[in-house]
Each structure stands twice: as C-alpha cells, then as structure tokens.
Amino acid sequence: MRIKRIAILALVATLALGNVFAQKTELNFWTWRPEDTEKYQALLASFEKQNPGVTVKISAFKNTEYNTILSAALAGGSGPDVFQSRAYGGLETFAQSGYLEPLDAWVPELKGFDKAPLGGATSIKDGKVYGVPFASQTLFVFYNKAIYKELGLKVPETWDQFLANLAACKKAGYQALANGGKEGWTLEVMMGSLAPNFYGANDFFQAVVAGKTNFQDPRFKGAMDKLKELTPYMPDLFMGVSYTDMQASFINEMAAHFVGGSFEAGYFSSQNPKLDFGIFAGPVAKAGDPRHVSVYADGNFSMNSGSKKKDAAAKLLKFFASKETGNFFINELKQVSAVPGADTSKSPYIKEVLSLQKFNTPYIFLVGFRYNQPTGSALFQSAAQGFFAGTLSSADLCKQIQDGIATYYAPFQKK
C-alpha cells in the first residue's frame, strides 16, 4: 500500500509539473499600422519559436484612431501588454499619465542605442526611457520611374522643375500628385517634405524653438504659399481624398508622385511588387542649394505599466531591441532601423534614404511642439485644411498656429 501511495503521489506531482510547463502566457501587442500586420506576424512567429510558452496576439488599429483607443483601454485597465507608442510629446503624455513602464532596468540593451532615437523615447520630465525605438523616418517625394521614362522627365532639383514635371504628368492624363487633404496629418507630412527648403530648415527651427522668431515669420508664410502652388496638380476634389485613396492611386500607377515618408515603401512594394519607384528630396528655389529632408524618431515599443505579464513583456521588448528586429525593419518594412548594428547592406532603398539624410532637419511640429495642448501638429493640421480648401489665407494659417502655441510656450510669451 505504501508503494502504491508513493507511486500515486509521484504521478500527481508529474501531472502537476506537466501542467505548469504546458501553461502558456499570451501577450497582447497593439500597432497603428494595419498595413504591416502580416509581416509583424512573421516576426512574432520567430519570437514565439525562441520563447516556448509565450504567444503574442497582435491587434492593429487605424493610425488616426489609435491614440484614442489606446488611451481609453489603458485608462480602463484593459490595454495591451506591449504596444507601439508615439515619440516625443506623444510618449510624454502616456508616460506622465502613468501608463508606461520605465524600461531602463527591463531592457539593458537600450544603453547601446544612439542618442537621437532615444530622445523620442525619453521623458523630458523625469529623464526615464519608456520605449524601445523602432525606426527613424524621412520625408520626401516618391515618383513613378516608368511614368518619368514614358514622358522623358528628369528628377527635379528646383521647385520650378518640379512644377513643370507635375504639369507634364497632368497633361499626359496622370494624377500629377496622389496627395489629398481629407486627413490633416497628410498635409503636415507634405509640409514636412517640401517646406523646410523654403522656410530655412535648421536655422529657422533653432530660431523658432528659442523664441527668436515665430510662425508668422515671412519665411514660414512664404513656404506655405509655395505649398499652395501644388493644388492644381492634386486630385480632383482633393479635400475629400483620404490617405488610403492616396496610397491606392500611387500603388496602382495612376499617380506619378506621392509626397510622403520613408515608411510607405514597404507597403507600396508589398501591394504592387512590379511598382518601380524612386525618391527625391524636396526641391529647392535655386539649383545647387542644400536639399534638406525632415527626419524624426517614428515611435517606440512600450510596456503597459499595468500589465500582469511584465516578465514575458520584457522578453518581447528585448527581442524588439535585437538585430533580428532591426534587420526586419530594414528588409521587410523598408524603414531605417534604430537598432544598433542593423545591417543596411542588402537594401539599396535604405542606402538611398540615408544618403538623403546628409542634409536633415527636425520634423518641426512633431519634434519641437507636441509636448503641450494644443500641439503644433494639431494646430497646423486644422489650419492647413482650411488653407488648402481656400477658406484661410497663409497669413491666417500662420496666425492660428502662432496664437495656439503661444498660449503655453514661454519663449513666445516674452514681453
């Protein structure tokens, strides 16, 4: 009987131990890029293979709705364990609300990241790092090489050459520009891509941040007037053209140009592998002038401070900080990875993006004016829609931005 009792106890212990090992931890991961979900699933499958017992469920939301949905979920205690967080002021808002877990201790790999991408993941109030930076983005112009070849066009260097190319494309029956204005953030991207070479790039950025000038400066107003010169080449009824409409027209080769960010390339290629596109920096007033591109830290991978699975979440964040993830961003998403040592040698596109960054400037409202409400981005996007729709002048646009930021920005309040 004693032997039987011991055998039974041993069997029970074995079954209990087996149940422990059989248990799985499921992490919830959220992203604002529905376009990249399929590729993320492949990346996360590699993580799961390396971490038996941990699975990841991915949920993707429209980028313009993401922050609202995420904020509500985190406030209600039902948010994801790991998620994409915005950089700069977007991260600051969530960090100071107590929703983000400081990562300095959880992810020691962050010590090897460069200062620039870490700047978008670090709180300006407490100096703690709240995210694993995933990529930097560069703003410029995509063009269809086949259309350029058909029409005998050359990549433009000056603004006048750019307008001439747009006119030639329109005359040939193509949409000259894919860009619309239904969503204000796409107009901000257009501004970030094309305006710096007219408002003074870094000189203006440094002066306006210091309060030595403001957004009613004639240089900034003049840059806005340049943007308005593009409206004859935008789609019919362009104020009703959404971001997905813009993408579709360029992907399907109906549009010759798409003013956007480096983050578009992976989606363009996945939707139309035969699409032969090139890129160029925003044109300048005079041939030979430096052609600046806006560059910014796109976002981070962060941990929910309220997660009940922090050990597993930390494993995922360490994986996101690895060269495997860095190479994934370069080769699959065609984005400039923030991971130190990621291999750019196999991507001609990334090499070209990096070459454009020779003359770079901060994406002005995102980097400098998103830490308080109303943010510079929100002010610009709203005013830009009125400006492009014809209900506001460039002077009105500049005044609305300046007045809004001046309500809280001390350098603009000097007497």
Pairing of strands 277-280, 132-144: antiparallel
Report in angstroms the alpha-carbon separations of 387 from 5, 121, 242, 390, 396: 84, 33, 17, 5, 8
Kindly give, in sequence order, each residue whose CB lies less than 8 Å from that of residue 335, ignoring residues fewer than 6 positions away: 134, 135, 136, 137, 262, 263, 265, 266, 298, 329, 350
Collapse the DSSP code of 230 into the 3-class scheme (helix H, G, I; strand E, B; otherwise coil) and give the result: coil
pLDDT at 14: 47
Residue with tokens 């992976």: 266
The one-letter amino acid at 72: A
Name beta bridge partners: 293: 360
CA distance 360 to 363: 9
Cα torsion through 287, 293, 294, 296, rounded to 10: -160
Tell me what pLDDT residue 414 has.
Answer: 74
CA angle 68, 297, 112 (to 5 degrees): 120
| Alpha-helical regions (H) of 23-88 | 37-50, 63-75
pLDDT of residue 5: 58
Q: Distance between CA 140 and CA 280 in Å, rounded?
A: 6
d(CA 197, CA 356): 13
Average pLDDT (316-324) is 98
Alpha-helix residue ranges (DSSP H) falling in 139-275: 145-151, 159-171, 184-194, 196-199, 201-210, 218-228, 243-251, 265-271
Asked if pLDDT for residue 2 goes beyond 60, the answer is no
Q: Is the pLDDT of residue 308 over 80?
A: yes
C-alpha 232/C-alpha 170 separation (Å) is: 9
Query: What is the H or E stretch that residue 301 is in?
Result: strand 293-303
pLDDT above 70 as % of the chain: 94
Closest-CA residue to 401 (of 390, 391, 415, 412): 412
With tokens 């949409």, the residue in question is 175
Tell me whether strands 82-86 and 25-31 are parallel, antiparallel or unpaired.
parallel
Helix, strand, coil tally for the chain in percent (to 5): 50, 15, 30
pLDDT score recorded for residue 20:
42
Residue given tokens 């976002």 in the structure block:
299
**25 contacts: CB under 8 Å, gap ≥ 6:** 53, 54, 55, 309, 312
Is 1.10.3720.10 the CATH classification of the domain at 23-136+298-345?
no
pLDDT in tens, 115-174: 999 999 999 999 999 999 999 999 999 999 999 999 999 999 999 999 999 999 999 999
Assigned CATH topology for domain 137-295+355-413: D-Maltodextrin-Binding Protein; domain 2 (3.40.190)
Per residue in 33-73, pLDDT tens? 999 999 999 999 999 999 999 999 999 999 999 999 999 99
Separation CA 277–CA 250 (nearest Å): 10
Calculate mean pLDDT across residues 242-260.
98
Give the global pTM: 0.88
Rg (CA), the chain: 24
Cβ count within 10 A of residue 250:
27
Domain definitions of the chain by residue range: 23-136+298-345, 137-295+355-413
Listed in sequence order, the DSSP H helices in 274-375 are 310-320, 323-331, 348-356, 364-368
CA neighbor of 117 nearest in space, from 346, 321, 344: 321
What residues contact 148, with CB distance under 8 A and at least 6 apart?
A: 154, 155, 165, 256, 278
